[in-house]
């Protein structure tokens, strides 16, 4: 029982350590693209300077002032 639980502990540790390494080792291309777009929006001022609400100003522009 002791050996079994030790095996469980070691394998769980091994799994969590390798998972931590592999999870972040690949470049997140889609996330980078989103981040790039946000920064380009700001640098080129393609949308109103509202970094917290990127979609809202564009929608508001399209809608105009209609009520």
Q: Which residue ranges make up the site for another protein (CB under 8 A)?
A: 1-2, 4-5, 8-9, 12, 15-16, 19-20, 23-24, 27-40, 42-46
Task: Kindly tell me which of 23 and 59 has the beta carbon lying closer to another protein.
Answer: 23
Q: How far apart are CA 46 and CA 7, in angstroms?
A: 57
Q: Measured from the CB of residue 6, what is the shortest distance to another protein in angstroms?
A: 9
We find the least distance from the C-beta atom of residue 67 to another protein, in angstroms, to be 32
Q: How far is the CB of 58 from another protein (least distance, A)?
A: 13
Q: What angle do CA 28, 57, 40 make, to 5 degrees?
A: 40
Question: Hey, how many other C-beta atoms are within 10 angstroms of the C-beta on 64?
Answer: 7
Owner of token pair 């640098």:
43
């Amino acid at each position: 029982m002791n050996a079994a639980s030790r095996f469980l502990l070691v394998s769980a540790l091994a799994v969590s350590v390798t998972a931590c390494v592999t999870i972040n080792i690949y470049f997140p291309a889609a996330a980078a693209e989103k981040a790039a777009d946000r920064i380009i929006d700001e640098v080129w001022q393609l949308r109103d300077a509202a970094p917290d609400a990127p979609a809202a100003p564009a929608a508001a522009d399209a809608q105009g002032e209609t009520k």
